[in-house]
Structure 1
């Protein structure tokens, strides 16, 4: 998958990607507006070109309160994000070219007022989704919000994602309609932030195209994709085998 060219779909009027971006931006705008007065810290995992946050900050009254850390592996995307931030005069935005799954990248910003996990959950295994949600208690401050996305194609994991967030002390604040064509959610952390455990790998970014192929192969061979081992994914025999 070319994750730079992938962004071109945002330019297609009324595409599901354009509508999802607008939905995420609306929730980012609301989260920033509802945050307490004073400085705000924002973390974005697999940030891409940073459109979900940077385009909101341009005209938001809290723009100068925000200090953000965006982490993205593709240098073409980080170059676009840095240009976007520079053009808007967003001097407190730190764009990092690196592996967003390594929690060490967020040490200077966590716990944050807002954590963006957009474009991640559809590209990793179920076990890594749950693992990442659990680790959000290291990234998010009490009262802070996590905004996340996940497609609603079968198997629809949005209900399970909501259950996992609630199991880790996150209260549901907003969820897109089931027929929206995508899933966007916001959960607010009501627990106590946990110390950031350096060296933790949150997930392995596999890619939705590879995952879909694996699901197709599972249906034919009777194996299931499950488990995690040092961030790696494994195809293991199903319980029926």
Structure 2
């Protein structure tokens, strides 16, 4: 892990002018679209490096499908995980579990996958290219058939977003939407169309870079 202060990093969300805040708004819009389009019944969600859960919990605060959503948020930082847990409890989201643990360890997702929505936000800009490719190759094990992955990555040169999209397609995903970078931040949505895959428990997906 890095020495970055992830609690202070989250403070940028409070500034509506920050790129982090604007990126959060973009991600929430995509989450709402996924929830709106899901058929009736439970919607299983998994969030890697969930932070304070501002993306999914922010949407569920007033979404009509809020009580259909069940899932697991995995976050290593105890403070941020506690904020997410308290937020879920205050909103009465009994189906949301917050795990304080290493999001790179697939053991922490046992029993929570396959999911209809997988959030991989704030990860791809903090790990090596090889770890990005490895994580994407492992995502079929997280996804139910037709499951959607929402991910983020900056467009700073050299822009890796086109290559990330290629890695998703190689893993059996189809692109739904990808930002063009004009906003100064990036995000993408891919849906899994490949064969059913089982998550390899005990595998390490990535390591945050210093």
TM-score, scaled to structure 2: 0.96
Distance 1:108 1:184 in 2: 27
Equivalences for residues 50-129 of structure 1 within 5 A: 50-129=53-132
1:178 CA displacement: 2.1
Tell me the residue number matched to 1:22: 25
Tell me the residue number matched to 1:4: 7
Distance 1:193 1:117 in 2: 20
Equivalences for residues 222-237 of structure 1 within 5 A: none
Residues 1:179 and 2:159 are matched in the alignment: no
Runs of 4+ in 1 over 4 A off after TM superposition: none
Q: Which has the larger radius of gyration?
A: 1
1:176 CA displacement: 1.4
* Residue deviations 1:31-65 (CA, integer Å, cap 9, x gap): 11111211111000000000000010111111111
Distance 2:61 2:195 in 1: 31
Runs of at least 5 residues in structure 2 that lack an aligned partner in the other structure: none
Residues 1:166 and 2:169 are matched in the alignment: yes
Tell me which of the two structures has the higher relative contact order, counting C-alpha pairs closer than 8 angstroms and 6 or more residues apart. 2
Equivalences for residues 23-42 of structure 1 within 5 A: 23-42=26-45
Secondary structure, counterpart of 1:32 in structure 2:
helix
Runs of at least 5 residues in structure 1 that lack an aligned partner in the other structure: 211-241
Superposed CA RMSD? 0.8
Distance 1:3 1:193 in 2: 35
TM-score, scaled to structure 1: 0.84
Contact 1:46–1:119 under 8 Å retained in 2: yes
1:13 CA displacement: 2.0
Distance 2:113 2:185 in 1: 28
1:136 CA displacement: 0.4
Distance 1:136 1:116 in 2: 10
1:193 CA displacement: 2.4
Give the number of aligned pairs: 207
1:122 CA displacement: 0.4
Tell me the residue number matched to 1:151: 154
1:174 CA displacement: 0.7
Tell me the residue number matched to 1:135: 138
